[in-house]
């Protein structure tokens, strides 16, 4: 009797597996168009990231649909995220590419947020970093002269204090730099262009945009790199970003200026939000209600991309050497990116109110 029950159970599992596989294979985007919403301007890190992945995704999805990027900047990326949450249909034809600037307003209870990460299905998580640089007109010629910036008025083009710019703005303050943000930028690309026009004299870009847009400026003598935000090692410690090994982390820079390691609630808050904002800074989501078959189809497509023999070299050149994850790995990164301690959240909320007059407490 037991053997008979085992055979029946095995048969049911086999039938279920066949049905599941057939359903997944039935997803076909032939002749369709996938709209990839990027809630930022075209020239920033998120735009570069989406531009890199779009043709790969088009080739990897069944039916090879056209993948078109729709840029929707505004309100620190909440405009595009809210649009996706409200309008996207669960048919696999609309995906959202987020950034830390989408995560931070959510984490800080920003009133503009009308979306819920728990409603969405993550199918790609990309880690990244970032690097800050200044105008050579400030007289700083190398990293070793970073202390010369103390007491100098610095202007920074910002998307908003609750966006991913929270990481550089807080780092600048911890270092004791007199940085005055110019709010209202539609994305990091707008901040970079303001720097190039001479309207600001300090800027930062995420790694994707820094590699493609800022490195040429550095080579031309139009920008001087001063630090990167770093990376996390296997134990969660802040270390130098392997893509920018010559650039100090904010902790290194603090030691260069103040002669000791940073500590205290401000530093703890910085580490908390850096961790939330960069190890899984950019993610691709499918909307609420999307079927398991479509979710699995996207997961399989990204796995296919990762396993392509040309992907490692091309992604390293465009994106740097950062983890690219899908499936369970992406889900774990999403949890890390949307979880911060109550103490750090409260500290940042108070800092934003005192420093910039931003009141987020409901």
> Which CATH number is 330's domain given?
3.40.190.150
For residues 163 and 244, state if they share a domain.
yes
CATH of the domain at 179: 3.40.190.10
For residues 85 and 208, state if they share a domain.
no
Percent of the chain with pLDDT over 70: 93
Domain containing 216 equals 130-276
For residues 142 and 68, state if they share a domain.
no
For residues 87 and 134, state if they share a domain.
no
Average pLDDT over residues 262-267: 95
Q: Is residue 265 part of a domain?
A: yes
State the pLDDT confidence band at 248, using cuts at 50, 70 and 90.
very high
For residues 261 and 330, state if they share a domain.
no
For residues 216 and 327, state if they share a domain.
no
Q: Is residue 3 part of a domain?
A: no
Q: Is residue 11 part of a domain?
A: no
Which of 276, 297, 324 terminates a domain? The answer is 276
If you compute the radius of gyration of the chain from its CA atoms, what whole number of angstroms results? 22
pLDDT value, residue 5:
39
pLDDT value, residue 6:
43
Q: Which of 274, 273, 278, 304 is nearest to 123 (CA)?
A: 304
Q: Is residue 174 part of a domain?
A: yes
Q: Which two tokens stand for residue 77?
A: 């990326």
For residues 142 and 224, state if they share a domain.
yes
Range with lowest mean pLDDT among 206-210, 218-222, 243-247, 301-305: 206-210
**β-bridge mates for residue 97, sequence order:** 284
Q: Which residues make Cβ contacts (< 8 Å) with residue 12, sequence separation at least 6?
A: none
For residues 177 and 221, state if they share a domain.
yes
d(CA 256, CA 146): 8
pLDDT per residue as tens digits for the range 113-157: 999 999 999 999 998 999 999 999 999 998 888 888 988 999 999
Q: Is residue 89 part of a domain?
A: yes
Q: Is residue 73 part of a domain?
A: yes
Q: Is residue 302 part of a domain?
A: yes
**Is the pTM above the cut of 0.85?**
no
Percent of the chain with pLDDT over 90: 69
pLDDT value, residue 279:
82
Q: Which two tokens stand for residue 322?
A: 């950062």
Q: Which residues make Cβ contacts (< 8 Å) with residue 16, sequence separation at least 6?
A: none
Q: Is residue 195 part of a domain?
A: yes
**How many domains, in total, are found in the chain?**
2
For residues 258 and 272, state if they share a domain.
yes
For residues 264 and 318, state if they share a domain.
no
For residues 134 and 271, state if they share a domain.
yes
pLDDT value, residue 142:
85
For residues 98 and 153, state if they share a domain.
no
d(CA 292, CA 13): 18
State the pLDDT confidence band at 4, using cuts at 50, 70 and 90.
very low
Q: What are φ and ψ of residue 5, in 5° steps?
A: -65, -40
Residue bearing tokens 């040429």:
216
pLDDT per residue as tens digits for the range 223-240: 999 999 999 887 888 999
pLDDT score of 14 more than 80: no
b/e per residue, 217-233, with b = 16+ CB within 10 A?
A: beeeeebbbbbbbbbbe
Q: What are φ and ψ of residue 42, in 5° steps?
A: -70, -35
Which of 225, 259, 276 terminates a domain? The answer is 276
pLDDT per residue as tens digits for the range 285-339: 999 999 999 999 999 999 999 999 999 999 988 888 888 999 998 998 898 889 8
């Amino acid at each position: 009797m037991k053997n008979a029950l085992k055979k029946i159970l095995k048969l049911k599992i086999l039938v279920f597996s066949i049905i599941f596989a057939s359903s997944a294979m039935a997803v076909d985007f032939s002749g369709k168009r996938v709209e990839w919403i990027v809630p930022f301007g075209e020239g920033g890190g998120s735009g570069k990231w989406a531009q890199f992945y779009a043709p790969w995704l088009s080739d990897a999805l069944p039916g090879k649909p056209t993948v078109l990027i729709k840029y929707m900047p505004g309100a620190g990326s909440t405009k595009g995220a809210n649009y996706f949450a409200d309008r996207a249909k669960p048919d696999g034809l609309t995906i959202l590419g987020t950034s830390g600037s989408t995560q931070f307003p959510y984490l800080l209870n920003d009133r503009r947020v009308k979306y819920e990460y728990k409603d969405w299905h993550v199918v790609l998580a990309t880690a990244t970093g970032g690097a800050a640089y200044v105008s050579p007109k400030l007289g700083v010629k190398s990293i070793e002269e970073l202390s010369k910036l103390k007491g100098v008025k610095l202007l920074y083009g910002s998307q908003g204090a609750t966006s991913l710019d929270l990481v550089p703005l807080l780092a600048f303050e911890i270092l004791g730099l007199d940085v005055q943000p110019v709010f209202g930028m539609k994305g990091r690309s707008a901040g970079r262009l303001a720097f190039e026009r001479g309207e600001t004299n300090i800027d930062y870009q995420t790694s994707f945009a820094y590699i493609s847009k800022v490195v040429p400026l550095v080579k031309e003598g139009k920008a001087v790199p001063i630090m990167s935000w770093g990376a996390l090692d296997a134990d969660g410690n802040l270390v130098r970003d392997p893509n920018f090994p010559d650039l100090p982390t904010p902790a290194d820079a603090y030691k260069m200026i103040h002669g000791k390691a940073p500590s205290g609630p401000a530093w703890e808050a910085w580490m908390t939000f850096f961790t939330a904002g960069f190890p899984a800074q950019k993610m691709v989501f499918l909307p609420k209600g999307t079927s398991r078959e479509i979710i699995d189809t996207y997961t399989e497509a990204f796995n296919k991309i990762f396993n392509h023999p040309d992907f490692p070299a091309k992604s390293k050149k465009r994106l740097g050497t950062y983890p690219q994850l899908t499936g369970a790995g992406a889900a774990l990164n999403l949890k890390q990116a949307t979880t911060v301690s109550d103490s750090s959240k409260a500290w940042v909320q108070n800092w934003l109110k005192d420093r910039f007059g931003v009141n987020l407490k409901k």
